[in-house]
Amino acid sequence: MDSTVQEPASSQTLNLDPYWMPFTANRHFKRNPTILVSAKGAYFRMSDGTELFDCLSGLWCCPLGHAQPKIVEAVRRQAETLDYCTAFGLGNPATFRLAERVANLAPAGLDHVFFTNSGSESVDTALKIAIAYHRACGNATRTRLIGRERGYHGVGIGGISVGGMMNNRKAFAALMVPGVDHLPHTWDPSQMAFSRGQPAWGAHLADELQRLVGLHDASTIAAVIVEPMQGSTGVIVPPVGYLQKLREICTKHGILLIFDEVITGFGRMGTNFGADRFGVVPDLLCFAKGITNGVIPMGGVIASGEIYQAFMAGPERAVELFHGYTYSGHPMAAAAGHAALDILEQEGMFDRARALEPVLEDAMHALQGESGVIDIRNIGLAAAVDLEPVPGQPGLRASTVWENGIREGLLLRYTGDTIAVGPPFISTPEEIGRMAEGLRKAIRAAFQG
Ligand SMILES: Cc1ncc(COP(=O)(O)O)c(C=O)c1O
């Protein structure tokens, strides 16, 4: 196979072979490479000069668009001032201030921030904190974890154990954390196809948690982890009252509730966090992605004061939590985080995301009736379209739509036969309308071709 491509921007030849690409059909990609060479605002540019609208804000992580001058400048300045500082027993002003800002944005009661470098690390960190918290409180039998079918919590050992996407689990069964159960997912097309916003049906599915308490006894269960809106599996929106029920059952039985807000945090739901949008406050909240607008990797866990204080009981010179990363609280990421939060807060981006929600909703639901479209869902600035699969070839239909999308000037994203969109908050209503119409053409071509 010839695995080299010409890269016109620099006239260099790329050797594609050595790079083992993540979550990619490597052989197919290397035969048909799509190479992005630059990005500005809501658009990527390919090596042949074609511009592509960034329909998913990178991977849900660049809500403010690309090459934001304030972020570029903040990162440059930080690199010149303090480019690295370990967080193990040392501090730097940018990271302490960012923790304070993140805690101030979080729902009341969530006030201590542990920094990581990704969503996966945030999830594994939250699971470890949950189990260590119960131990610190004298409840060392509380070790079981409960996730949810179709959940995506990254690719760490903890995250795949509580996650519920089959392909992310099946090859790694031997590595799974023991003592994990899964709640059912909440998508039922016979009850909620083409729902706008939160489906009315499905709150009762949270009662499955009560059944698991009956099966194992609450004294063995440490935590339940859910995404408030399941993003990576294709924008599965929580039914009205569902998250409230989970909260009530967790509180009643002393089980910690963890929200994985790696996608829903920092404005994607039109609010600071999904917790605000859905009116339910968890005990631990995982974040990543939007905190730095995707420019420098960063994630974290926000813990309630009660959880933090439970660790603060031993001798003052003793390390309270034997956990952390070389790059935890990296000053460069903190600088990007401050600039991203400045833009979010000072340039009305939460309001803008909220104002664009009905525009996206109408534009996406206008695709109902296209042949092969079997469901459309939306909440906040996120939406998904389910497509009739090619019999016996799951994922082929959506990958064809993806390729057609490039011809329409769209960088789409698919999982299985679901196309997900989460446009940047800086998008205009016209751009969102063009995105939906381009998607319509890409879908038509896939079903006619
Ligand atoms: C809800 C959720 N949790 C965790 C992750 C993993 O994040 P990362 O890829 O930064 O490890 C993702 C990534 O999409 C996510 O959507």
- Pocket perturbation via mutation, ligand 1, pick of 116, 232, 413 by most ligand atoms within 8 A of CB: 232
- Compute, in angstroms, the gap from residue 11 CA to the centroid of ligand 1: 35
The Cα–Cα gap between 204 and 194 comes to 20
Span from the CA of 119 to the centroid of ligand 1 (angstroms): 4
φ/ψ of 110, rounded to 5, equals -95, 105
180 C-alpha to center of ligand 1: Å? 19
Please state whether beta strands 299-304 and 110-116 pair in parallel, antiparallel, or not at all (unpaired): antiparallel
- 3-state SS, one letter per residue, for 269-306: CCCCCHHHHHCCCCCEEEECHHHHCCCCCCEEEEEEHH
* Entry pTM: 0.97
DSSP bridge pairs for 378:
383
Cα–Cα distance, 69 to 71 (Å, whole number): 5
The DSSP string of 174-218 is GGPPSSEEEEPP---HHHHTT--SS-SS-GGGGHHHHHHHHHH-G
CA distances, 158 to each of 236, 314, 395 (Å): 22, 27, 26
Work out the burial of residue 204: count CB atoms within 10 Å of its CB; fewer than 13 is exposed, 13-18 middle, 19 or more buried.
exposed
223 DSSP β-pair partners: 145, 256
d(CA 299, CA 321): 18
- Ligand 1 centroid – CA 191 distance (Å): 28
* Selection from 403, 361, 359, 404 nearest residue 385 by Cα: 361
User: Residue 11: its pLDDT value, please?
Assistant: 35
CB 256 within 8 A of CB 130: yes
Q: What are phi and psi of 85, to 5 degrees?
A: -160, 125
Which candidate, 124, 123, 158, 119, places its Cα nearest to that of 299?
Answer: 119
- Residue 431: predicted pLDDT: 98
Ligand 1 contact via 119 beta carbon (within 6 Å): yes
**Residue of 24, 115, 153 with the most ligand 1 atoms within 8 Å of its CB, for mutation:** 153
**Whether the CB of 118 sits within 6 Å of ligand 1:** yes
Q: Tell me how far apart the alpha carbons of residues 296 and 293 are, in angstroms, rounded to a whole number.
A: 8
| pLDDT at residue 449, as a whole number | 65
Task: Decide whether any atom of ligand 1 lies within 6 Å of the 120 Cβ.
Answer: yes
What's the DSSP call for residue 198? S
Q: Which of 293, 426, 288 is nearest to 353 (CA)?
A: 426
DSSP structural state of residue 351: H
10-residue stretch averages of pLDDT, the chain, 449 residues long: 45 84 96 96 95 98 98 98 97 98 98 98 98 98 98 98 96 96 98 98 98 98 98 98 98 98 98 98 98 98 98 96 98 98 97 98 98 98 98 96 97 97 98 98 93
Q: Which atom of ligand 1 is nearest to the CA of 60?
A: 14
Determine contact, residues 311/320, Cβ cutoff 8 Å.
Answer: yes
Ligand 1 centroid, distance to 121 Cα (angstroms): 9
* Burial zone of 393 (CB within 10 Å; 0-12 exposed, 13-18 middle, 19+ buried): exposed
Cα–chain-centroid distance for residue 109? 23
d(CA 168, CA 26): 17
Distance 262 CA to ligand 1 centre (A): 6
Dihedrals φ, ψ of 394, to 5°? Answer: -60, 140
Among protein residues, the one with the nearest Cα to ligand 1's atom 13 is: 154
Torsional sign, CA 428, 433, 434, 435: positive
Distance CA 341, CA 15 (A): 38
| Ligand 1 atom showing the smallest separation from residue 59 Cα | 14
Q: What is the CA radius of gyration of the chain?
A: 22
